[in-house]
């Protein structure tokens, strides 16, 4: 089987701090993988390393490889802009630009050079439909995105990534600012999106990992302790540390 994303002996340092320790992981296409673990264990770092947004932090250093579609994304010849287009990120807090709904969604396509109104309109409709926002928002294209509810804003952020034409969606605790009901709706959306996209979600919420993901990885202090099918992780973890965490004895 060919994997969509492969992490090979991946280590990340922030200055002297060893944030990720020798991670090896394979992620298949059109699956949802959840990364769980206590705060500071490196889940977000791992996600941000795949989008290469982590490099913005001073003193970040990386060893090992990340392959997407068998290509090393840290190869010097990698087109970083194309990589970020392919693997889009959704952040913890809804972070729409202070622009209209329409301009938020078309931001990505525009920076990648799409200018034609008809083409942009089509992208907007497609990504809003995919995130179940079209019926609600089709009349409100010109409204400020910041006037929407947090849930809608977060869905808009997901739509913004879809509009890029991404193949991979990286979500960094996307529901931590949302209430339980809206969280469920985002989860349903993710399960629906899995049909077309490869999704990695970092979450603090173990029920969430159990509900949405096919595979789960448990991380602790920069190490990937265990990764397996979600049902197995939650019913018969192989590692004692994983078991302690998911049974609530630790973390």
Partner 1 sequence: MLKPIFWEQVMKKILFVGTAITVFILFFIIFYILKNGLAVVDMEFLLSSPKDFGRAGGIFPCIVGTIVLSLVAIIIATPLGVGTSIYLSEYTRESKLTSIIRFGTDCLAGIPSIIFGLFGFVLFVVYLGLGWSILSGGLTIAFMILPTIIRTSEEAIKSVPDYYREVSLSLGGTKWQTIVKVVLPSALPGIVTGIILGVARSIEETAIVIFTAGSVLRIPTSLFDSCRTMSVHFYILAREGISMENAYGTATILIITILLINAFAYWLMHRLMAKYS
- Residues at the interface with partner 1 (CB under 8 A): 51, 53, 56, 58, 81-85, 88-89, 91, 93, 95, 97-100, 107-108, 110-112, 144, 146, 160-161, 164
**DSSP collapsed to 3 states, 222-238:** CEEEEEEEHHHHHHCCC
The neighbour count for residue 15, using CB atoms within 10 Å, is 11
Contact 91, 27 (CB under 8 A): no
User: Is the CB of 20 or the CB of 89 nearer to partner 1?
Assistant: 89
Q: How far is the CB of 60 from partner 1 (least distance, A)?
A: 14
User: Is the CB of 99 or the CB of 221 nearer to partner 1?
Assistant: 99
Q: How far is the CB of 233 from partner 1 (least distance, A)?
A: 28
Q: How far is the CB of 108 from partner 1 (least distance, A)?
A: 4
Q: How far is the CB of 186 from partner 1 (least distance, A)?
A: 18
Contact 182, 151 (CB under 8 A): yes
Rounded Cα–Cα distance for residues 91 and 250 (Å): 26
Q: How far is the CB of 155 from partner 1 (least distance, A)?
A: 15
User: Is the CB of 43 or the CB of 85 nearer to partner 1?
Assistant: 85
The neighbour count for residue 142, using CB atoms within 10 Å, is 9
User: Is the CB of 83 or the CB of 130 nearer to partner 1?
Assistant: 83
User: Is the CB of 51 or the CB of 242 nearer to partner 1?
Assistant: 51
Rounded Cα–Cα distance for residues 54 and 127 (Å): 26
Contact 168, 68 (CB under 8 A): yes
Structure tokens at 145: 């995105």
């Amino acid at each position: 089987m060919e994997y969509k994303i492969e992490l090979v002996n991946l280590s990340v340092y922030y200055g002297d701090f060893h944030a990720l320790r020798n991670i090896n992981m394979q992620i298949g296409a059109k699956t949802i993988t959840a990364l769980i673990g206590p705060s500071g264990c490196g889940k977000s770092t791992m996600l941000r390393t795949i989008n290469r947004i982590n490099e913005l932090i001073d003193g970040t250093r990386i060893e090992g490889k990340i392959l997407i579609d068998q290509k090393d994304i840290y190869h010097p010849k990698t087109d970083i802009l194309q990589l970020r287009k392919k693997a889009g990120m959704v952040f913890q807090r809804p972070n729409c630009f202070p622009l209209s709904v329409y301009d938020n969604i078309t931001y990505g396509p525009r920076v990648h050079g799409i200018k034609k109104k008809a083409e942009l309109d089509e992208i907007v409709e497609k990504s809003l439909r995919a995130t179940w926002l079209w019926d609600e928002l089709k009349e409100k294209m010109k409204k400020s995105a910041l006037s929407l509810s947090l849930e809608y804003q977060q869905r808009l952020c997901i739509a913004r990534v879809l509009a890029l034409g991404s193949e991979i969606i990286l979500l960094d605790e996307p529901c931590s600012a949302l209430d339980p009901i809206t969280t469920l709706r985002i989860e349903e959306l993710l399960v629906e999106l899995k049909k077309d996209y490869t999704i990695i979600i970092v979450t603090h919420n173990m029920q969430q990992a159990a509900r949405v993901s096919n595979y789960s990885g448990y991380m602790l202090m920069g190490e990937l302790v265990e990764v397996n099918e979600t049902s197995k992780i939650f019913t018969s973890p192989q590692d004692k540390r994983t078991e302690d965490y998911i049974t609530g004895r630790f973390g």
